[in-house]
Amino acid sequence: IAQVFKSSADEGYFPKVFSRVTKVDAPVQGMLIIVIIQTGLSLMTISPSLNSQFNVLVNLAVVTNIIPYILSMAALVIIQKMADVPSSKAKVANFVAFVGAMYSFYALYSSGEEAMLYGSIVTFLGWTLYGLVSPRFELKNKHG
């Protein structure tokens, strides 16, 4: 995960602190920030039962990790059209994407109301953050 944040920071999507590495090219500062954030999220889900807390975290992880897959599967048809993929080849991929999307929606449903609520909040915050930083990339792409 820290390497993903580092790569994103190298491109300018995240603060430069995530780009900093040690002598052995390890993004330690980024890892520490991620650990602090994850610890904070874990503390927000403290419950009397460790098993219950684990289930909350697993379900939250399901929600936050499945949403990008659903968005990718939804974009597949447009990506294929833009890439001029023949419809004969596209049918199989579209069917697999549809089955994957249905399973993903079932997994979201199965994760429960609490995970959906918190997962939605995390996702919307991520989209908001992207909305705040994306104009600088669009302007960079427009002006060369």
Question: Which residues span the domain enclosing 107?
Answer: 49-144
Locate 102 and state its tokens. 């249905």
Give the global pTM.
0.59
Spacing of C-alpha 58 from chain mean position: 15
71 in the same domain as 32: no
Looking at residue 139, its pLDDT comes to: 67
CA distance 108 to 1: 22
Kindly state the tokens that stand for 130. 């992207």
Mean predicted lDDT score pLDDT of the chain? 86
**What average pLDDT does range 84-101 have in this prediction?**
93
What's the pLDDT at 132? 87
Q: Specify whether 72 is located in the same domain as 4.
A: no
Note the pLDDT of residue 144.
Answer: 55
Give the count of domains, the chain.
2
What pLDDT does residue 44 have?
73
For residues 83 and 25, the answer to whether their CB atoms sit within 8 Å is no
pLDDT (average), residues 48-63: 81
Looking at residue 85, its pLDDT comes to 93
